[in-house]
Structure 1
Amino acid sequence: MNTFSYYSLGIALVMALGACSSGSRDTGAGLPGGNDVIPVRVQPLAAKGSAGTVAATGTFTTDDETALAFRSGGIIEQLLVREGDPFRKGQLLAAVESTEINTALQQVRLGLEKAERDYRRARQLYADSVATLEQMENAKTALDAAKQDVERASYQVNHTAITAPFDGYVLQRPVNVGQVVGPGTPVLLVASKAKGGWLLKVGVSDRQWSAIRVGDAATVTTDAVPGKELRAEVTRKSEGVDPQSGVFNVYLKLAEAPASSLASGLFGRATIQLEQTSDVWFIPYEALMDGDAGKAYVFVTNDGQTARRVAVNVSAIQQDHAVVTAGLEAGGSLIVSGSPYLRDGSHITIK
């Protein structure tokens, strides 16, 4: 290669490097550097006195709604009530065929008679020094076991029928006469006349469940009582998720309900007023950075010259703001614009 070729190649490399440098400068134009002062907008941080509300829907029930079932399974022989029927305490509601259970009772009674004869004979033989003490004691043990068998069989016979535990009415009758049911299978769903009060059973998410406290006040509305808000309060919360609906159940007890206006299963809407347990902050959701599963970051400033990155807990995102429950206790001012250009310790100027 001659001298001219080396010279031409050197000029080409210099021009290429210059072009790359120029391109790099153009790409970064307009972005603040690490020492730049970044203009931002801020708003004062002040904790609010309200923790907000939870809206939920559900159905009305009573505080003694009960599923009735047979102690032992069998073929249903009698169903003496239908859905919606009223009943009185002690009234016979349903029964299963008892032939098999009665036969078992007769068998154990015969066994008891034999055990009694064996024990009397063993006791007499022991008194005549023919039988040993062990033989007499074994006969006594067999007698005691036979008595227990009779008691167990009698208990089974006494539970072949279902009687009403209180005055009430039938909500559901999921079975029919002639159907075979197993032990514990619900036969009748019943409720009282709501003497203990009406409940609205609502489903909420896990985050709402954790925010709701027993005793929180609520208002309830239903189409069955149009134009009226019913006062209620949270009386209990489920300790596990409902496997059918996948939500957590919360029970609201009505302070009072219009007579004959409510029925189990009616639809209702509730607004639960959360009890204030700690300070909360309502901030623009544009100020949040890197949100994930209730955690996020915001930038604040205490001196108006330096930005500080802090972690916050976000409990809810509402119409035009986010609800923060922790992380802003130090006060200062929240940076609401310019956050994407900031790093922890960035220099700022307030617009």
Structure 2
Amino acid sequence: MKTLHVIALLALLSSFAVSCGEKTSAEQKKETDKIPVKLLPLNGQIAAINLINVSGQFTTDDEVMLSFKTGGIIQSLLVKEGDAIKQGQLLATLNPTEIDAQVQQAQLSYDKSVRDHQRIQNLYKDSVATLEQLQNTQTAVDIAQEQLKSAQFNRSHSQIRAQANGFVLRKLASEGQMVQPGTAVFETNGAQSGDWLLRVPVSNKEWAAIRIQDKAQVEVESIPGKTFNGVISRKSEGINAANNSFTADIKLMGEKPAAIAFGMFGKAKITPVVPAATEGDGPWDIPYDALLEGDGNTGYVFVTSDNKTAHKVTVTIAGMEKDHVIISKGLQNAGSLIISGSAYLTEGSPITITNN
């Protein structure tokens, strides 16, 4: 009897051991299915950049390249670089000989067409000329009249007049020079209005952090020791190929500096304002390797909110640094970004965290 109890106990222990062994194996298989990843918490914005130091040159928003509509020889240039100009002021003229001759030819052609039409009209009343002949001469009058208008318009634009109050920034031609239609002769701006802009280059990361109406403190090189208030009035929507950077315009507000000129050097300290939205709003600065399938300004990343499951989301790319990507939208509801192991993930993949 004692022997039977021992045998039964051994069988029970054996069964328990087998059961435990099967459970351990199942758990190991489940753990093996999980993909190891590394995470980056998304609890801060790159707009945490509290101060952005920039420098650039002063300009205005109304630079104009002035030219003649017709070609010819420049007869006179009536202003020099740096001169103040008023709207409507005569700045330059072409030699009028050729254009005056064209206007005179057009006038003679028009006068002849009017005479011909009058003669045919009288003949038509006497039933000598046909209706078609009368209509043809009327058409000739209309054509000659339009040609005369065109010649007179070209003569009026054989002069250059100031489009607004401002200054002559550059003189690009000389008296006696032969110029083609549209060749720039003067570059002017409306600086007399005092609407100065400090145009500064910014990096991708700075561009994403800056918003319109962000405040700035501006220093003018010609007025040391004094700062002026400004705001971001514009951000470029494309990169400047010349210096491989974006640009931002800082408009001076309030007191305007008197000792300032076009092209003068200036500095500014921009304070990006973090929007009063919910915590975790972008933009975000993420590693380049975390971005998948980038196409234009759209890409995909994997995120997780429970540290157990991966989810694929679409993001908007605002810019790229050397080894980082600036994301402006798409990560608002994510807890953490998966920055390693993304290549092995699909939507809903189980994950295990390997961050040290």
Deviation at 1:214, TM superposition (A): 3.5
Deviation at 1:274, TM superposition (A): 5.2
Paired residues for 1:1-351 under 5 Å: 46-47=43-44, 50=47, 52=49, 55-195=53-193, 197-204=195-202, 209=207, 212-242=210-240, 247-270=245-268, 271=270, 273=272, 276=275, 279-280=280-281, 290-292=289-291, 302=306, 326-327=330-331, 329-331=333-335, 345=350
RMSD: 4.4
Deviation at 1:267, TM superposition (A): 2.0
- Alpha-carbon contact 1:46-1:281 (below 8 Å) kept: no
C-alpha distance in 2, partners of 1:283/1:136?
Answer: 76
Deviation at 1:257, TM superposition (A): 4.5
The aligned amino acid for 2:212 is: V
Over 3 Å counting, the alpha-carbon distance change for 1:323 and 1:91 in structure 2 is closer
Over 3 Å counting, the alpha-carbon distance change for 1:179 and 1:249 in structure 2 is farther
The aligned amino acid for 2:67 is: A
- Alpha-carbon contact 2:209-2:272 (below 8 Å) kept: no
**Which TM-score applies when normalising by structure 1?**
0.69
Over 3 Å counting, the alpha-carbon distance change for 1:93 and 1:139 in structure 2 is same
Deviation at 1:308, TM superposition (A): 5.2
List per-residue Cα deviations over 1:274-314 (Å, max 9, x = no partner).
553673479998xx583457979788684xxx665566868
List per-residue Cα deviations over 1:152-171 (Å, max 9, x = no partner).
11111111111223332211
C-alpha distance in 1, partners of 2:157/2:182?
Answer: 12
- Alpha-carbon contact 1:242-1:249 (below 8 Å) kept: yes
C-alpha distance in 2, partners of 1:173/1:54?
Answer: 36
Query: Residue 22 of structure 2 corresponds to which residue in structure 1?
Result: none
What residue ranges of structure 1 are gaps of 5+ in the alignment? 1-33
SS in 2 for 1:150: helix
Deviation at 1:208, TM superposition (A): 5.4
**Which TM-score applies when normalising by structure 2?**
0.68
Which shifted more, 257-266 or 268-277? 268-277
List per-residue Cα deviations over 1:39-81 (Å, max 9, x = no partner).
x999976345945465544321123322211111222121121
The aligned amino acid for 2:62 is: D
Deviation at 1:247, TM superposition (A): 4.5
C-alpha distance in 2, partners of 1:283/1:212?
Answer: 13
C-alpha distance in 1, partners of 2:138/2:78?
Answer: 45
C-alpha distance in 2, partners of 1:41/1:120?
Answer: 93
Which shifted more, 106-115 or 190-199? 190-199
C-alpha distance in 1, partners of 2:46/2:65?
Answer: 44
Which shifted more, 140-149 or 160-169? 160-169
SS in 1 for 2:120: helix
SS in 2 for 1:104: helix
Deviation at 1:207, TM superposition (A): 6.5
Over 3 Å counting, the alpha-carbon distance change for 1:152 and 1:244 in structure 2 is farther
Q: Identity, % of aligned pairs?
A: 35
Aligned length: 309
The aligned amino acid for 2:171 is: R
The aligned amino acid for 2:71 is: G
Query: Residue 7 of structure 2 corresponds to which residue in structure 1?
Result: none
C-alpha distance in 1, partners of 2:284/2:234?
Answer: 32
Deviation at 1:212, TM superposition (A): 4.5
- Alpha-carbon contact 1:74-1:180 (below 8 Å) kept: yes
The aligned amino acid for 2:272 is: Q
Over 3 Å counting, the alpha-carbon distance change for 1:324 and 1:107 in structure 2 is closer
SS in 2 for 1:290: helix
What residue ranges of structure 2 are gaps of 5+ in the alignment? 1-30
